[in-house]
């Protein structure tokens, strides 16, 4: 698989001397890190900001990367998911901004819209006392309002590549000639083919005399790709010696026949009721279908995928973040970078086709020193992909224990819910074809759909809702 060939082999990743594999500082006082942000050279006002966020001490990647960045070097930062990479690049940038304040000082590129908002929040939280202004420039949002924000010349622009190009080409007066820092977060993804043209265009319009930071939990090996990012004599700051997933993550697989995936999913959600789940599906329609299916069984699941409007995407994420929904059905649009501390369990309903995506997906749980669980569904078609994942992470995973007879008892109810979900998908498809009325709620599985209304009182779906198998109550 191309993805594998590009990866940095474990022994090719620089490791810091004396660092323990797989460990990371998280400021919770459980590790031997004695350094403070001040020791790293972080200025007092920013140390105070860290303190206010409850960051007692720097994480390992922060210890590695911040001093190097403060010395004026380009950085390639590699560290496991949830280990504080955002702070590792945000703090040196804010410090530079403090030393020489200027508008349009930094450009941060990210592969997804949600991640852009999250990075902006972190910059604003760390930079609140110095009045830092950020602009989030992503697709799915009105160009005009973004142009107005850009006209005010923010200090930091956090963007997805495509929309940034739109503005560079169409927004009068907007340019990036002043930029001092370029960050590529989830750099391997940005440097991959998906964004090739966009990145090349962007690199042409920002100054060569700039500093460049690349960060990710996984990195591309192809040197020419890294060269495309035009780094100057970069220092690689890597805090583990191989692609690791964090210690506090318990990873399982479950080998099941493809046709019973839904039954196993429902059974696991029931078994682990009370937790919050991110469930990854391979396609947008898959995520939508499973969300509808679960809702038909009384579980308030919410989808998040690329075919939803941006408003709906942010709405879904906020509902999940605020814990008003505890099951998020997502595609890989949510696999990278999103920091939602309370995710207890990641389920790979569809196994990721690129092994590295596995690392990013399961990294949505067990963040910043917390514990978490991941369960990967492996069907008769997925064995090879699963073996690649095990090779990449250098571990053999245990099987998640389930009672097959109990799962099979769900077949009838799940089949009924599947039928309703199918009808609802069809109904939503037709609705999408009709001219839009109102605010166009076609992505929404929150409303009782026509189909469900039709079966009310008679169907098994409604009975399930009333209680049935669910121990967890409302999710």
Ligand X SMILES: Nc1ncnc2c1ncn2[C@@H]1O[C@H](COP(=O)(O)OP(=O)(O)OP(=O)(O)O)[C@@H](O)[C@H]1O
Interface ranges with ligand X (CB under 6 A)? 26-27, 55, 58-59, 62, 79, 81-87, 217, 337, 339, 341, 363, 367-368
Q: For residue 332, what are the CA distances in angstroms to 114, 134, 283?
A: 12, 26, 9
Nearer to ligand X among residue 366 and residue 389 (C-beta): 366
Write the Ramachandran bin of 384: left for phi over 0, alpha for psi from -120 to 50, otherwise beta.
alpha
Rounded (5°) CA angle 366-370-372 = 40
Using DSSP's 3-state secondary structure scheme, residue 229 falls into: coil
Q: How far is the CB of 25 from ligand X (least distance, A)?
A: 7
Nearer to ligand X among residue 53 and residue 149 (C-beta): 53
Nearer to ligand X among residue 55 and residue 123 (C-beta): 55
E strand spans, 331-380: 345-348, 372-378
Distance CA(274)–CA(166), nearest Å, equals 44
Q: How far is the CB of 89 from ligand X (least distance, A)?
A: 9
Q: For residue 363, what are the CA distances in angstroms to 66, 166, 216, 373?
A: 23, 32, 12, 10
Q: How far is the CB of 76 from ligand X (least distance, A)?
A: 14
Nearer to ligand X among residue 366 and residue 407 (C-beta): 366
Nearer to ligand X among residue 87 and residue 352 (C-beta): 87
- Are 87 and 55 spatial neighbours (Cβ–Cβ below 8 Å)? yes
Phi, psi of 163, deg, nearest 5:
-70, -30
Nearer to ligand X among residue 47 and residue 425 (C-beta): 47
Using DSSP's 3-state secondary structure scheme, residue 36 falls into: coil
Nearer to ligand X among residue 82 and residue 234 (C-beta): 82
Q: How far is the CB of 84 from ligand X (least distance, A)?
A: 3
Distance CA(28)–CA(5), nearest Å, equals 37
Q: How far is the CB of 135 from ligand X (least distance, A)?
A: 20
Place of tokens 């991110």: 278
Q: How far is the CB of 331 from ligand X (least distance, A)?
A: 16
Sheet-wide strand order for 372-378: 249-255, 372-378, 345-348, 277-280, 327-330, 301-304
Burial (CB < 10 A; 0-12, 13-18, 19+), residue 80, is: buried
Nearer to ligand X among residue 62 and residue 106 (C-beta): 62
Q: Sign of torsion, CA 11 14 19 25?
A: negative
Name the residue with the smallest CB distance to ligand X.
27
Q: How far is the CB of 121 from ligand X (least distance, A)?
A: 10
Q: How far is the CB of 243 from ligand X (least distance, A)?
A: 12
């Amino acid at each position: 698989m191309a993805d594998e060939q590009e990866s940095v082999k474990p022994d090719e990743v620089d490791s810091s001397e004396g660092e323990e594999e797989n460990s990371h500082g998280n400021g919770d006082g459980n590790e031997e890190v004695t350094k403070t942000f001040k020791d790293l050279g972080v200025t007092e006002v920013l140390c105070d900001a860290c303190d206010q966020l409850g960051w007692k001490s720097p994480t390992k990647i922060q210890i590695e990367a911040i001093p190097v960045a403060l010395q004026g070097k380009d950085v390639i930062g590699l560290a496991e998911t949830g280990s504080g990479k955002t702070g590792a690049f945000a703090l040196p940038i804010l410090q530079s901004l403090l030393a020489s304040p200027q508008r349009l000082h930094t450009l941060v590129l990210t592969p997804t819209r949600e991640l852009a908002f999250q990075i902006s929040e972190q910059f604003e939280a760390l930079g609140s006392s110095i009045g830092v202004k950020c602009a989030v420039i992503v697709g799915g949002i009105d160009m005009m309002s973004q142009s107005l924000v850009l006209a005010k010349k923010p200090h930091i622009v956090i963007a997805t590549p495509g929309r940034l190009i739109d503005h560079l080409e169409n927004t009068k007066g907007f340019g990036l000639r002043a930029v001092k820092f370029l960050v590529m977060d989830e750099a391997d993804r940005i440097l991959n083919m998906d964004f090739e043209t966009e990145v090349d265009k962007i690199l042409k319009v920002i100054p060569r005399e700039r500093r460049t930071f690349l960060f990710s939990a996984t990195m591309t090996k192809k040197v020419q790709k890294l060269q495309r990012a035009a780094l100057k004599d970069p220092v690689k700051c890597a805090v583990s010696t191989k692609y690791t997933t964090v210690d506090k993550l318990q990873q399982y697989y479950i080998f099941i026949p493809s046709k019973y995936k839904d039954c196993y999913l429902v059974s696991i959600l029931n078994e682990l009721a009370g937790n919050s789940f991110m469930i990854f599906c391979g396609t947008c329609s898959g995520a939508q279908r499973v969300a509808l299916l679960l809702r038909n069984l009384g579980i308030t699941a919410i989808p998040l995928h690329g075919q939803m409007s941006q408003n709906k995407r942010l709405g879904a994420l906020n509902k999940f973040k605020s814990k008003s929904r505890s099951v998020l059905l997502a595609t890989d649009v949510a696999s990278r970078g999103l920091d939602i501390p309370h995710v207890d369990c990641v389920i790979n309903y569809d196994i990721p086709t690129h092994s590295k995506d596995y690392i990013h997906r399961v990294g949505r749980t067990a963040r910043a020193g917390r514990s978490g669980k991941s369960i990967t569904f492996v069907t008769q078609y997925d064995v090879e992909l699963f073996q690649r994942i095990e090779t990449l992470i250098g571990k053999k995973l245990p099987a998640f224990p389930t009672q097959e007879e109990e799962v099979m008892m769900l077949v009838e109810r799940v089949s009924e819910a599947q039928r309703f979900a199918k009808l609802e998908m069809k109904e939503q498809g037709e609705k999408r074809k009709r001219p839009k009325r109102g605010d166009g709620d076609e992505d929404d599985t929150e409303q009782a759909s026509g189909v469900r209304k039709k079966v009310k009182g008679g169907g098994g779906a409604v009975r399930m809702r009333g209680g049935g198998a669910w121990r967890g109550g409302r999710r």
